[in-house]
Amino acid sequence: MAWTTDAPGGQRHTGYVLGRLADGTIPTYRSGQALYEREFTDSPNGAGGTWSGPGAADVDQPTALVPACRCGWRGPDTPYGGEALLPDDAMLEARAVWRAHAAAVLDAQVPDGYRDKISALARNLHELADERPRSALVLARQLREIADHLEPLAVAQALAQGVPWETIGVDLDQTKQAVHRRYGHPSASLEQRVRELTGGSVAALLAVARDRRRGTPPPAPRARWSQAVTRALRPPAGNGVGVPGS
C-alpha cells in the first residue's frame, strides 16, 4: 500500500509502511543483487496483514508499523496488534504521521490570512516611520526579537515533521550549511532564546524534535511563548519612546 501527495511545481512524495518484528528488525528480501525492505499492508478483512516480496508467508507479523517516505524519511514506530492500538488504528496512525510529514515538506506557502495581516501591518509601519520614526525603530527591534524567538521553534517543528536541513535553509533563504552550522554550533544569544522558550538547550530542542511523535506537545509551552513576546514588546526602561496602542 502506498500513498502519494503532489504539490505545485511537480514535487511528489510517496508514503508506505514498513513493519518491525519483535526482535527489532525490519524484514528484507533479495531480488538479484539488491536487498529490499519488505513493505507491510494491513488486511481490511481481519487481523494481521501481508508483506511484500517473495517468501512473505514465512515472515512473522510485525509488532510495530513504521511510516516511511520514498524521500528517505522514517517516522516513529506505531504499536501494532497489541493493546495500545487496534491493527486498523495503527495503519491509520501511520498514514496520518506520513501525511503530516508530506504536508510539512511540500507546503511552504504562507496562508492567505497571515499574508493579509502582515501586509496590513507593513502599511501601518510605513506610515509610522514617516510620522514617528523613533517609535518605528522600537517596533522594528521588537519584531526582530519576536522573529528570532520564532525561528528555532519553527526549525524544531520542521525537523519533527521530517523536513531536511536543505529545505529549511531554502525557506530561510540561506544555505543548508549555514543553517546547520548555526544550530549545530549555536551562539550564546540563540542558546538564551531557546532556554527562555523551552527551559533546555538548542541541542536538547533538536534531539526532542527528532524523537517527537505526532500529537505530542510542541517544544515550547504556549505560556513560555507568550512570556517571550511580552518581554519583546516591553520598551527599555528609561527609553521615553512610546509605541502607539501599547
Highest mean pLDDT among 76-90, 105-119, 148-162: 148-162
Cα–Cα nearest to 103, from 200, 6, 173:
6
Q: How confident is the model at residue 84 (pLDDT cuts 50, 70, 90)?
A: very low
Strand partners, 18: 39, 66
Q: How far apart are the first and last CA of the chain?
A: 55
Predicted confidence at residue 171, as pLDDT, reads 87
**pLDDT tens digit sequence for 213-238:** 544 555 556 778 888 889 888 876 65
Q: pTM score, two decimals?
A: 0.60
Lowest mean pLDDT among 48-52, 145-149, 190-194: 48-52
* Mean pLDDT of all residues belonging to the chain: 84
Least confident of 94-103, 112-121, 193-202, 204-213: 204-213
Where is pLDDT greater, at 164 or 244? 164
- Show the 3-state SS of the chain: CEEEEEECCCEEEEEEEEEECCCCCCCEEEECCEEEECEEEECCCCCCEEECCCCHHHCCCCCEEEEEECCCCECCCEECCCCCCCHHHHHHHHHHHHHHHHHHHHCCCCCHHHHHHHHHHHHHHHHHHHHCHHHHHHHHHHHHHHHHHHHHHHHHHHHHCCCCHHHHHHHCCCCHHHHHHHHHCCCHHHHHHHHHHHCCCHHHHHHHHHHCCCCCCCCCCHHHHHHHHHHHHCCCCCCCCCCCCC
pLDDT-derived band of residue 182, with 50, 70 and 90 as boundaries? Answer: very high
Mean pLDDT of the region 194-205: 91
